[in-house]
Amino acid sequence: MNLIPFSTRTFSRFYLGLLVVVLVAGCTEDTYVEPKLYGSVAGQILTQVTKEPVANALIRISPSGRSAETDSLGRFKVDSLLVDKYGVQTTKSGYRSDLTNIEIEPRKQTNIVVYLVEDNLQNRAPTLPGNPFPADGATNVTTSVILDWTATDPEKDTLRYDVILFREGNKTSVPIATNILADSLVVNGLDYGATYYWQVIARDRVNNTVYGQIWSFRTRDLPDFPYFFARRETNNTFQIVASNAAEQFSVTKEYSNWRPIVSPNRTQLAFISNRNTEAQLFVSDLNGNNLRQVTTVPIAGLSVTDLSFCWSPDGTELLYPSYDKLYAIRPNGTGLRLVAQAPSGRFFAGCDWTEQGNRIVARATTQSIYDNELYLINPATGQTTRLVGGQAGRMSNPAFSVDGRRIVYSLDVSNFQNPQGRQLDARIFLMDIAAGTSVDLSAEKTAGTNDLEPRFAPDGARIIFTNTNNDGISTRGIYSMDLAGKTRTLLVQNAEMPYWR
């Protein structure tokens, strides 16, 4: 038996070849790889209470590490998520975080709706309202003003405001505007020469409320208004207004007030008001402050809005009619006395008093508003002397000239009568008392209109009066003209019962 030598090198080569054969043989077997399946998730984020979309909310898909942000409609979508179970976490400043569990299915879109609850603990209050206009402590502020301020919110929430405004001396303060979005407010009709306090309260969407500082300003002093008149409101009441033609000021604002007449020293205003049911005389400052009732025996007659009264020449008394009697009373409500008694069957309706010769002129009527006479009265004795009579037609109350020698009044010359007291052609007449002659000053008035309620200007050079259409319902205007009835000039629209101080 022959032995063949087998070296170490030969063995190594054999073993390596055998290994290659085994590996090659192993590679010929089949291998299975499981495919990866994907789906997607889409949703909308809304508020819990109002169901409004939440924009710019952060969406995190865990454990994928994917994220998204909602659009202006609160919507989002994440594609290419491996089939699996995930947690969808939603976060937004000012809201509580939400975690919603989902399961992604192969080649399908999972849809969800998430409702976020506001987290009031995270929401910060607005800043204090500041930068006021008018500036705190401002003076000479107009009676119509735009209040302005600034405030911001850390979360940029929409702010709403309440505004409190009250005059110095008022015992209560109430908002003049509530829940407004604008950071400014127009205020009209403030009093002249008055100090006002105001405060702004700011509130955000979760009702965090901050109270601003209390600011103040003072309005400018009352201008020297030459004209006072009554303005008819839509509810058929009257309010007293002062004007210089360019600017107007409401002296009264409630009840019904008419026939304004300024005192001889031009510091007080008297007028008729029905605020206590019966028509009474009231006196106030020219701006309406320090209002007080003067009479307890009412001013009364056939037609209450036709009635008129006057100051005594020295301003110590008010003279007024009450049916068939003419009374005088002090402005403080004391010293009521009877001055004159009307002729039998007649009632006083209006009067004027001149210091020139110390005389009173008064209109007296009967049960018919178209039956009028004018009388001169001696204030010391009450003796009456008829000045104008026997003229049919509705008549206005008379007024003395500055020198006391003439009177002016209006008279309807159409001889028309109806139950409503309508006038068709009322004209202004200037009468010379001594001569007993009258001149028609309405030659230039527009046909179909009435000239009414004339009075002399303070300098006696012109006459102020009311003109209106004779339909009885049209708006009235106040005019002036010279003593010849020329240069008719419109002074104020929507006004009547003028007084020129």
Q: What CA–CA distance (Å, rounded) separates 187 from 182?
A: 14
The per-residue pLDDT for range 350-407, each reduced to its tens digit, is 999 999 999 999 999 999 999 999 999 999 999 999 999 978 899 999 999 999 999 9
Q: Are residues 181 and 303 part of one domain? A: no
Last residue of a domain, which of 219, 246, 274? 219
Instruction: Please report the beta strands in 434-482, taking only residues with DSSP state E, as ranges in sequence order.
Output: 437-440, 449-456, 462-469, 477-482
Q: What is the pLDDT of residue 10?
A: 46
* pLDDT at residue 489 is higher than 60: yes
* Residue 366 located in a structural domain: yes
Residues 203 and 352 in one domain: no
Distances (CA, A) of 301 to 309, 347, 474, 500: 12, 7, 25, 25
What is the predicted pLDDT for the residue at 49? 87
Residue 74 belongs to a domain with what CATH number? 2.60.40.10
175 lies in a domain?
yes
Within this chain, do residues 352 and 332 fall inside the same structural domain, yes or no? yes
Query: Taking all residues of the chain, what is their mean pLDDT, rounded to a whole number?
Result: 92
Q: Does the pLDDT of residue 13 top 80, yes or no? A: no
| pTM of this structure | 0.69
Q: Both tokens of residue 424?
A: 């068709």
pLDDT in tens, 226-253: 999 999 998 889 999 999 978 888 999 9
Alpha helices in 396-500 (DSSP H): none
Residues 140 and 282 in one domain: no
Residues 337 and 267 both lie in one domain: yes
Q: Would residue 32 count as lying in a domain?
A: no
Element (H, E) at 23: helix 8-27
251 & 210 share domain: no
- Give pLDDT, residue 30: 56
> Is 122 domain-assigned?
no
**Cα end-to-end span (Å), the chain:** 162
Predicted confidence at residue 121, as pLDDT, reads 67
Whether residues 233 and 86 fall in one domain: no
Domain annotation covers residue 10: no
H/E segment holding residue 418? none
Domain match, 134 and 112 both: no
What pLDDT is stored for residue 6 in this prediction?
43
Q: Are residues 382 and 476 in the same domain?
A: yes
Give the Cα separation of 53 and 48 in Å (integer).
10
State whether 375 and 409 are in the same domain. Answer: yes
Beta strands in 48-144 (DSSP E): 58-62, 66-69, 75-82, 85-91, 98-103, 109-116, 130-133, 138-141
pLDDT computed for residue 22 by the predictor: 41
In the predicted structure, residue 27 carries a pLDDT above the cut 70: no
> Domain boundary residue among 167, 196, 219?
219
Query: What is the C-alpha separation between 376 and 387, in angstroms, rounded?
Result: 6
Rg (CA), the chain: 45
Under a CB-based contact definition with an 8 Å cutoff, are residues 227 and 493 in contact? no
Q: Are 160 and 203 in contact (CB under 8 A)?
A: yes
Considering its fold, how many domains does the chain have in total?
3
Residue 482 lies in a domain: yes
**Residues 402 and 486 grouped into a single domain:** yes
Domain closes at, from 182, 199, 219: 219
Q: What is the CATH number of the domain that holds 414?
A: 2.120.10.30
Domain that holds residue 190: 130-219
- Answer yes or no: do 194 and 233 share one domain: no
Structural domain contains residue 56: yes
8 A C-beta contact, residue 200 and residue 163: yes
What are the beta bridge partners of residue 175? 164
Q: Does 195 reside within a domain?
A: yes
Least confident of 12-16, 452-456, 495-499: 12-16
Phi, psi of 312 (to 5 degrees): -70, 155
Helix (H) or strand (E) holding 26: helix 8-27
pLDDT tens readout for residues 126-171: 999 999 999 999 999 999 999 999 999 988 889 999 999 999 988 7
In angstroms, the CA 326 to CA 324 distance is 7
> Which of 95-104, 203-212, 406-415 comes out lowest in average pLDDT?
203-212
Percent of the chain past pLDDT 90, that is, above it, reads 82
Q: Which residue has the tokens 């405001």?
A: 161
